[in-house]
Structure 1
Amino acid sequence: MWSKKVLQPIYFYRKRITIVAFITILSLLFLNLITPTKINSAVASGNGDKLLTIFEDGKRFSFKTSAKTVREALAEQKISLEEHDHIEPSLNDELDGVEYNINIYRAMPVIIKDNNYKVKVLSSSKVASKIVSDAGIKLYDEDKVELIPSTNPAEDGTSTVLNITRAKLVKVDLYGKETEFRTRAATVADFLKEKNIKLEEQDGISVEKTEKISNGQHFRIWRNGKQTITNEEDVDFEVEKIKDSEKEAGYKQVKEAGEKGKKTVTYEIEMQNGKEVSRKKINESQTKAPKKQIEVVGFKQANLSYTGGGNKTEWLSASNIPQSEWGYADWLVSKESGWNPNSTNRSSGACGLAQALPCSKVGADPYNPVNSLNWMNNYVMRRYGSWANAVNHSKTKGWY
């Protein structure tokens, strides 16, 4: 048996060849898209399990490396960075993948002109605002910055100039509140429109709207009749004092610094011809609570000399101890209680400046320093005949 072979027209075969060729081209394109690493690897220099591609000044090249960080990889290729150059990713980034793109932005000199101020800086940025920021120059939103070609590259030492056109500073007393504005407006009318300040029929302004705006200009806008204004004001903090009997009088240490709070206060004011003629508080709201300040202050009595002379203290002055005996009294009280009126012996219960035992001997309020000194004076004079004798006994026996 044999079969008859059907012959197709020539255009049929041409069509099949075209389709096969088209599919082949698509396959090659697809493989190229999904396997760029293999292609890059084939042309990359060096050895290693990671592929790095460097992009710098519109150029690129690839290399293989086993470096652990970007810094190590660049060192292998003897690529160094200057202080103002910028790199992405950073030098200390770890290389824990298989393929990386490294962007290097080399710093270039730029002349910055800011009114009469002129300085040359190095910057790796191509954005004007970023160059100004890197140079530490403060900009306001209303200032204008632009990169322009240098008119004298030989003198400037660079082909790029960054020009700053400063906005004008205007101070306005706006309805009773002094406010600073920066503007590029030519006239007062342009300024009011730029800042969206709409004057009502009862409003007044101290300059003509057609007046040209100048740097440092000052004018007032007010509203006649009654109106309200809201101000932010400070709230003073409270001071808590902790007395320390171990520190001399006059000693002060801030243990915890206080902080002022904030409050908003609304006033109803009456204006006539731009001047305030009356003011009345109608509301007050605390927006931030003040923080209490804690201070440690000395409460220790001044020491008197042993000779009996010296400065008077409040407690001794109020007691019945003769001034001629104050030096002896100071020595004995210092030994017994350290001039702490609240001193209490945990073992015996002796208390007060005199360390009376039992504490009840002093009578009412034994911790009152004057009561304690009066009892002590009576006890010393009755038992020893003088304060000097009491001191000598204490030095010999250790008690009085």
Structure 2
Amino acid sequence: MTKEEEDNNYSTIKSSKKKSIIISLATVLMFAAVMAFAIYEGTKNTVTMISTGEKEEVKTHSETVGSFLEEQGIKVGQDDYLSHTAEASIDKDIVIEWTEADQFTVTVDGESTSAWTTSNTVEDILAKANIEVTEHDKVTPALDAEVDSETAISVEKAYEVTILDGLEEKKIWSTSTTVADFLKQHKITLGDLDRVEKEMDELILPGSQVKVVRVEKVTDVVEDSVKFAKETKKDSTLLKGSEKVVQKGEDGLVEKTYEVVMENGEEVKRELKEEKVVKEAKKQVVAVGTKTVVASISRGADNKASAPAQKKEAAPAQKKAAATSKPAATSTKTTKTSAPAQSAPASSSREFYVSATAYTAFCNGCSGITATGINLKANPHLKVIAVDPSVIPLGSKVWVEGYGHAIAGDTGGAIKGNKIDLFMPDRSAALAFGRKQVKIKVLD
């Protein structure tokens, strides 16, 4: 072997040893690195991270929850949910739950507010927004409903409303709604005739009053008496001024059927629907005497009867004179007999005939107060006549044939000249009187 060959073999061996050393060194370094990595990874803690329902296991050397979240690039808001505090230590395997809060919009009586929360029930969202609700408030959706951040949540605060239902008054909580919805909500039903004193589409506002008028129609049957009429007939067999009942009057009976409208229990309208005669009235017939009695009285006879002794003692001359004298004139006297209550006075200032009618104060629209201030309704038994003051002065005492003593206490538009109007306490008697020619005497 030449020297050159030997040199080449030596170089080859030397190069081969160098490569072996490098390989061995690299192997040792790699093993050390693997061992170091294995040791490093082996000392990490396992963190189970649950976020928005997703679970992930993460190895970390972070010593606190806060540093771990920072390591993961997670920023926790003040309304977010975090199962541990940021200062909580990580010294072993740990489960960390984090939920990011959503923003919800709530409208209260038209005004909007926001709330950040991780809860999705309406009740929790309202609590987070510091909105108190009562059982009368209207909340949409319902308190137990689960919603998302896109759901509109509204609250209508309730207020007291006065409801007058017929005669019943009560306070009811209500939210802003129409009258029709208010009645439906509180189960207030209306009959065919009932009415509400508000428009049905009118809004119910705080302090409102809703009045429901309960209307009903009822039938009322009433029996009324009908006063009998009076008829007078002249009777020449009765003394003038006296009266005799020939036929006794009887009141009639009529049945009236009314339709009555009642509002809240009170009558507001009455309409006559039917009238039926149950019993006919029977008129009273009165005979009025017209007979006049005439009596003749001799004045001479009276003188003879009153002084017989004086005549016996008369002188002969006187007898002769009496015998030759003309007979004494005989006077006659007419006497009129009348009923005791209506008898004419013994003397009067003047008397004459008048046309007489009758009236009553008990009629629709009649005040009952005469021209001289007499209250005929309060004193129905007074005898009062209406006169023409230019013929018979007001306040005069009079006597009227067939009527009796009375006072001239009233006037009338149709009472002119020799006309009078007799007051009577009931309408039937006034109608039955009609129009008559009677004698009147003005006493003072």
**Considering the TM-score relative to the shorter chain, is it more than 0.5?**
no
Q: Name the larger-Rg structure.
A: 2
Bigger proportion of residues as strand = 2
Bigger proportion of residues as helix = 1
